[in-house]
Amino acid sequence: MAFLSEDHGRIRIKFLQQQLKHLPAGKITVKKCRGKDYDVVYISSFAEHPQFAGCYFSLNKEPGISLSRLIRQYNEITNEIGELQGKIKDRNDICRISSVNKRRNEPQPMGKDFFEDLKKKQDTNTFPKPPDAIEHNGILLRTKGEKILAEHFDRLGLEYVYEPGFLIDGHEYIYPDFAIYLPEIDKVFFLEYMGALGRNNYLYKAGERFKMYLSYGYVPGRDIIYICENDINRLDMETVDSMIASLVIANTEAA
């Protein structure tokens, strides 16, 4: 089995901590009212929606239903952070990467030639698309959020490829949601849209995808941008633009 370094573990923790900023802290509990017990969710803090802090919401209707999913996600993330921090404290290897024996420390060159090759492999992910997939420029996108992003990239005049497949180390294919080319720095970066963070198993699958990228040397903020959306926090194009600008700065400073 291959292992992530301590540095990679700290990057993972930083990524998870960023996710916590978009989630509420609280608990699912029982509240007595007029002699009856009611299942509720209590919000102790929520940076993006401070009006929810200190409030109880019924688990039988919105926004309580959505908030309860986000609370569970918050707890999953904090548990993972705790596990990683414990391993760092012991100065052991951080995370085991399943089913792969050999990894690269640096990604392959990601310039114009790489992008031209990706253009030939657009939309090659064979994972079935949902019945409500949305057409955009002749390509079926899986989600409404991806369509919103694609339209935004069009307005910005960005060159991008949707779900291109490419081989890593000669034995494993990877399919980023978007591969975007920035000619000003001769750089391709990946954008992963994480639009179902409140759903069962989605967070786990997203974490495994994160680990896979990192194990091949693709670093968040330098090679990849993660765009997150859930039932409470919707897509914000100003945030997307800011993340792209920060990635340009990071690559310029590293050059």
Confidence at residue 138, expressed as pLDDT on a 0 to 100 scale: 93
Q: Give the type of residue at 90.
A: D
Rounded to whole angstroms, the Cα distance separating 73 from 20 reads: 9
Tell me the whole-structure pTM to 2 decimals: 0.63
Q: Please name the residue that has the structure tokens 């596990």.
A: 83
Confidence at residue 99, expressed as pLDDT on a 0 to 100 scale: 39
As a CATH number, domain 98-254 is 3.40.1350
What are the residue ranges spanned by the domains of the chain? Answer: 10-89, 98-254
Q: Is the dihedral of CA 78, 81, 87, 89 positive or negative?
A: negative
Rounded to whole angstroms, the Cα distance separating 117 from 119 reads: 5
Rounded to whole angstroms, the Cα distance separating 10 from 7 reads: 5
Q: Please name the residue that has the structure tokens 């370094």.
A: 5
Averaged over successive runs of 10 residues, the pLDDT of the chain (255 residues) comes to: 54 85 91 86 90 92 91 90 73 40 60 94 89 94 95 96 84 87 95 79 79 85 88 85 92 79
Confidence at residue 5, expressed as pLDDT on a 0 to 100 scale: 52
Q: Distances from the Cα of 252 to the Cαs of 8, 33, 171, 211, 238, in angstroms? A: 22, 59, 31, 25, 21
Q: Which residues pair with 55 in a beta bridge?
A: 43
Confidence at residue 93, expressed as pLDDT on a 0 to 100 scale: 42
Q: Give the type of residue at 171.
A: H
